[in-house]
Amino acid sequence: MDIEKIDRIIDKHNSDASALIQILLDIQSENNWLPKEALDRVSQQLEVPATRVQHIATFYKAFSVVPKGRHKVHICMGTACHVRGATRVLDKVQEATGIKPGETDLELKFSLETVNCLGCCALGPVMEVNGKAHGKMTPRQTTDVLKTYE
């Protein structure tokens, strides 16, 4: 991510240190993660200690300091989804992408996470991709859905 883009995001928030979290969210939205260079630039421009910026970037689950895929895949492992076959859906996603929960593929196409509940239990098992819920998933449907995001 280039410095000019980071500076534009910081300027949008009037270089206000109280907007640190929103600035980091905006940078991550543009880049899918928070590179060290971006964190250093934010620290410098906002005059906030680098340790404070790093602490915030690593404390909140919404942030990632490692590269993430363009498509975020979440598999619900809550009770309703689990009893309806969520583990089979997860297995199929792992087979199709070559990654395990918490990982990102080498092409930065997919990142995979499991979650405890997506709040749509009647649709279980549920797979969410980029915030869009796909319900009543079967292993075969899983592959078809993933193909639409390639």
The yes or no reply on domain 3-59 and CATH 1.10.3470 is no
Q: What is the pLDDT of residue 61?
A: 82
Residue-wise pLDDT for 60-90, tens only, equals: 988 999 999 999 999 999 999 999 999 999 9
Beta bridge partners, 132, equal: 129
In this prediction the pTM is: 0.78
**Cβ-contact 26, 9 below 8 angstroms:** yes
Q: What is the pLDDT of residues 112-127, one digit of tens each?
A: 999 999 999 999 999 9
> Domain boundaries in the chain?
3-59, 71-148
> End-to-end CA distance of the chain, in Å?
23
CATH topology of domain 71-148: Glutaredoxin (3.40.30)
